[in-house]
Amino acid sequence: MTVEPSVISTGIWLLTALLTTLAMEGWAALLHGRVWHRSLWKLHRSHHRAHAGAWEANDALSLLHVPIAVVLIVYGLRATPSLTQEITLGVGLGMTCFGGLYLLFHDGLVHGRLPMKWALRFRIPRLWVAAHHLHHTGGRAPYGFFYVPKSVRDRVREAQQIPVRSPRLTLTTTR
């Protein structure tokens, strides 16, 4: 039995997109802890303060990856078919997928900027909210969002901070 080249191509970029989506959590945590909370604190600080507007200076940091993802997707769609072209498309789509999930759950659910309260019916999103609340009140780990380390899960459990409803986070200016 032979497999159509298009099926192989689709499989390559789908697998690459999935792996990139997962890897972006580590990349985001690294940037957040090592760059946003250090050299780019002047911009990121706006995210750790209560604000009334829909936009904050920190939003610029989230947009930094958009042009990279767009270029990768456009190249992946327009280049001569090859392994590099399929991988490039997958990386761009994975970055976009992670960005969309982050927008929905971080900005939407945790910070109430989108109508996502329905997700609080599930334990994992409630854990994300509680872990992010710990980050904002203590300014330390977790720096990632979707992966909550066991030590943080234990702190959340001890503090019984898994809220039933989406709170507007009480934000502080700590790093």
Which residues fall within 8 angstroms of residue 108, CB to CB, at 6 or more apart?
A: 114, 115, 116
pLDDT, one tens digit per residue, over 3-32 is: 577 888 999 999 999 999 999 999 999 998
pLDDT, one tens digit per residue, over 52-75 is: 567 788 888 888 999 999 999 999
Q: Is 158 helix (H, G, I), strand (E, B) or coil?
A: helix
Which pTM does this prediction carry? 0.84
- Candidates 134, 140, 117, 113; CA nearest to 59 is 113
> What pLDDT, on the 0 to 100 scale, is given for residue 51?
66
In whole angstroms, how large is the CA radius of gyration of the chain?
18
Which residue has better confidence, 57 or 89?
89
Render 34-64 in DSSP notation, one character per residue: IIITTTTHHHHGGGGS---SS--TTHHHHGG
Residue indicated by tokens 């945590």? 29
The CA-based angle 121-23-104, given to 5 degrees, is 35
Show me where the domains of the chain are located. 5-159
> What pLDDT, on the 0 to 100 scale, is given for residue 165?
46
